[in-house]
Amino acid sequence: MLDFEYSIPTKIFFGQKKIGKIGPEIKKYAARVLLVYGKVSIKKIGLYDKLIKVLKNSNITYKELTGIKPNPRITNVRKGIKLCRAHSLELILAVGGGSVIDCAKAIAAGFYYNSDPWDFFSKKAQIEKALPIGVVLTLAATGSEMNGFSVISNQETQEKLAAGSEVLRPRFSFLDPSCTFTVSKKHTAAGVVDIYSHVLEQYFCLTEGTFIQDKLAEAILETCIKYGPIALREPKNYPARANLMWASSLALNGLLTYGKIGDWSTHYIEHQISAVYDLTHGVGLAILTPYWMEYVLDKKTLPKFVEYARKVWSIDEADEFAAAKEGIEKTRDFFNRLGMPKTLSEVGVEDKRLVDMAKKITSFGPVGSFRELKEQDVLKILKAAL
């Protein structure tokens, strides 16, 4: 186990009747907020009206930034920063899923930065200060509600890049599983894959002596395997939605990665595909993950694959390579049973773009640590997944 410094200060209000408490929480930091959200869905489920009522009752004034879409754009971040500066707003309240939260985080950081906020993502600048961020979550997927990461897309440069800082951790997040009852089958499934993938990116690692982290990781994987299919079959099943929502936060708040090193190759690769094709993140991960697994399986990585196969999929095949491969196939099957496609062609990715994408993915150097991938490795994975 590696040394680590643990800090997860985000407060979580979990349940169906917590929203009334958001007034006092906001008041600790601000009297004027920027409300960031997508558009229709939070109005459809009545969340918007409830929230506005609470804000008014608490004498909190607000400006709105709406129309945030999946793969949130740097253009929206710039807009948000202008709004905050023009109206001296003091807290960013994100109401939505990961895209909305990530956009809110980039605004919060950009507020204190004198140049273009894309600098944080292109690694020209470090995030050191940010406005406080609050969250009302409506999708179980990215874990952004409890961590310090933000992923933003730039259409001009066709890039989708991540930035992170402890100052981006939300001060509080409201998690009401019933807010996800109306999430479509496709996005429910993509969310489950996203959670599952976050865990795998941390689970597949060569650091030794991380038994406790690995068992905790398996707990979250089993939660996805149990409740993913139930949430698809019964969208209003509260225990399913509750377990998945809590899984999304715990999968990426740091708990599983403290003491070890994550891999994250599949995420790097997927981000580039999303940047070009505006794909739903979880869909891209579902396609790529089994191909990544097949590519990185070798003598050195075998023991971890065997552990995964035996513990998560109860595979008792004695031959270790065969067991590992069975585990990979089980993973692919699970994603397919959730309705995810199997190949990049199915979602419109073209062969002619792969070379360029592989180059961009490795533009900051090789990706991954479980097995380091250079440009040619990435290209091979992309071609296999096509």
> Which of 11, 233 has the CB closer to its own copies?
11
Question: What is the signed CA dihedral for 354, 359, 365, 371, rounded to 10 degrees?
Answer: 20
The number of C-alpha atoms within 13 Å of 245 and in the hemisphere containing its C-beta is 28
Smallest gap from Cβ 316 to its own copies, in A, equals 12
- Asked whether position 316 contacts its own copies by CB under 8 A, the answer is no
Distance CA 30, CA 21 (A): 15
**Burial (Cβ within 10 Å: 0-12, 13-18, ≥19) of residue 180:** buried
Q: For residue 212, what are the contacts with CB-CB under 8 A and spacing of at least 6?
A: none
Q: Are 250 and 220 in contact (CB under 8 A)?
A: yes
Q: Which stretch binds its own copies (CB under 8 A): 70-78, 100-108, 134-142, 250-258?
A: 250-258
Distance CA 283, CA 330 (A): 17
> Which of 125, 247 has the CB closer to its own copies?
247
Q: Which of 196, 258, 264, 268 binds its own copies (CB under 8 A)?
A: 258
- Asked whether position 220 contacts its own copies by CB under 8 A, the answer is yes
Q: Which residue has the tokens 């690692």?
A: 205
Bridge partners of 376, per DSSP, are none
Closest CA to 230 of 215, 246, 217, 242: 242
> Which of 27, 123 has the CB closer to its own copies?
27
Q: Are 196 and 206 in contact (CB under 8 A)?
A: no
Smallest gap from Cβ 311 to its own copies, in A, equals 10
Smallest gap from Cβ 215 to its own copies, in A, equals 3
Q: Which of 226, 342, 353, 380 binds its own copies (CB under 8 A)?
A: 226
Closest CA to 171 of 374, 297, 332, 12: 12
Q: For residue 249, what are the contacts with CB-CB under 8 A and spacing of at least 6?
A: 12, 143, 145, 146, 173, 175
Q: Which stretch binds its own copies (CB under 8 A): 75-83, 95-103, 198-206, 251-259?
A: 251-259
Smallest gap from Cβ 211 to its own copies, in A, equals 5
Q: Are 271 and 162 in contact (CB under 8 A)?
A: yes
Q: Which stretch binds its own copies (CB under 8 A): 14-22, 106-114, 182-190, 299-307?
A: 14-22
Q: For residue 348, what are the contacts with CB-CB under 8 A and spacing of at least 6?
A: 277
Q: Which stretch binds its own copies (CB under 8 A): 47-55, 113-121, 219-227, 267-275?
A: 219-227
Q: Which stretch binds its own copies (CB under 8 A): 9-17, 260-268, 318-326, 367-375?
A: 9-17
Smallest gap from Cβ 14 to its own copies, in A, equals 5
Query: Using N-to-C axis directions, what is the helix angle for 265-277 and 185-203, rounded to 10°?
Result: 150
Where in 39-98 is the site for its own copies (CB under 8 A)? none
Smallest gap from Cβ 295 to its own copies, in A, equals 29
- Asked whether position 247 contacts its own copies by CB under 8 A, the answer is yes
- Look at residue 301 and give its three-state secondary structure: coil
Where in 155-214 is the site for its own copies (CB under 8 A)? 208-209, 211-212
Q: Which of 51, 179, 190, 250 binds its own copies (CB under 8 A)?
A: 250
- Asked whether position 236 contacts its own copies by CB under 8 A, the answer is no
- Asked whether position 13 contacts its own copies by CB under 8 A, the answer is yes
> Which of 38, 134 has the CB closer to its own copies?
134
Residues that bind its own copies (CB under 8 A): 1-9, 11-18, 208-209, 211-212, 215-216, 218-220, 222-223, 226-227, 238-239, 242-243, 246-247, 250, 255, 258-259
